[in-house]
Structure 1
């Protein structure tokens, strides 16, 4: 049964029709620097505030740096981490250079880890899928998403980020069609102001009307901050 979980940010909840529908498989796609990690952190805050157990899989930071980085934009995950409500899995160890041969095994290993921990976590967040999939063939990537759909059908929500071009366009199209939610983010100048523009391509299970497109900033004192500027001036 799908229910709506608040993101712990009223402005963001309003754009998403009341919050994030769970369980669901959500893909967030955008270039580097478009606020993907900040948005996933906002989602995680809401989930943790709702007493859900979260597994965060990072390919871009170590545990200490991630917690410190998120704290700078108001997301303090240190307490849920120490309370074992948030677990952080660091895929890339310091000092290790992944070869193409080794990297192709990352996605199946992560998939297996998620399956083993199906009953332990309510939500898995992967930031980002790009590193895990860049040396995987199309069948491996689609097998991973088939496994994700199975996990979602058994109650685990999955949120992941992806850079455009990380997989072939054919695979990307198949991935997007598989997901319950597909969000696209890009940097833009709106009325002379630099903002992030979010397009909600689809979000199955929302409790009310979803805003199809809106702009936001990543504010150090507020986290995700909706910018009420008409897109007609873009």
Structure 2
């Protein structure tokens, strides 16, 4: 089994995730709004790029300019990766208010070859994109397709807000994934913290921490709390 490196010198995220991410993985990151899904996706995308993997990032959250500014604020510098083509950023931000265009996103996502030419493919936020046509049959087709893509030594990452999908569809997405992470926020000592709980991790490279408590610091990105509270 081969593993993609996710190590950055300034944080310990890679240690919490077992030292690396197995190739052929499908990573499901689930949580409500502002629970930390996107920052985890951004942290993973940056470390993949820093370790010489190419990456497609399909986003409902930000325009290209907004994404670059957000990453820069966290010192996740991606400008050169965009310019040299290692990072393909695809903003679908305008589509989230256009239901007509959203209706066939599942079909479009399986026929847009450019998405899958990179080593890593990230959808943030997948539930927003498929909420209008997320029947069990269509989602089953999508996950079968993503499994075929991942089997070619690629890694698929997607985030979802479970409130945007039916319970049956959320269960299908969790079941199809090789790694499931649930994010949430909580108050501790008067401060708001984020947590990422690994509830499923197939083919882990090594021991991993089931609950990672972290905060987001400007100029640093994710800062793992040493004294984690589960």
Fold similarity call, TM over 0.5: yes
Tell me, in whole angstroms, the C-alpha distance in 1 between the residues paired with 2:217 and 2:139. Answer: 34
Contact 1:12-1:19 within 8 A present in 2 as well:
no
Aligned length: 228
Q: Which runs of 5+ in 2 are unaligned?
A: none
Q: Distance in 2 between the 1:162 and 1:145 partners? A: 14
Could you tell me which residue of structure 2 aligns to residue 36 of structure 1? Answer: 37
Name the structure 2 match of 1:76: 77
1:98 aligned partner:
98
For residues 51 and 61 of structure 1, the distance between their equivalents in structure 2, rounded to whole angstroms, comes to 24
Per-residue Cα deviation, 1:74-122 (whole angstroms, up to 9, x for no partner): 112111001111011122338x8412x4322012102221x4554x310
- Which residue of structure 2 aligns with residue 5 of structure 1? 5
| TM alignment of 1:29-178, pairs within 5 A | 29-93=30-94, 97-99=97-99, 101-113=100-112, 115=113, 118=116, 120-136=117-133, 137-178=135-176
Conservation of the 8 A alpha-carbon contact between 2:4 and 2:48: no
Deviation of the 1:4 alpha carbon: 3.8
Give me the whole-angstrom Cα distance separating, in 2, the residues matched to 1:17 and 1:183.
14
TM-score computed with the length of structure 1 as normaliser: 0.91
TM-score, length basis structure 2: 0.92
Q: 1:141 Cα shift?
A: 1.5
Question: What's the C-alpha RMSD, in Å, of the aligned pairs?
Answer: 1.8
Q: By how many angstroms is 1:177 displaced? A: 1.1
Retained in 1: the 8 A contact 2:3–2:20? no
**Unpaired stretches in structure 1, ≥5 consecutive residues:** none
Cα 1:193–1:229 shift into 2, 3 Å: farther
Where has structure 1 moved over 4 Å in runs of 4 or more? Answer: none
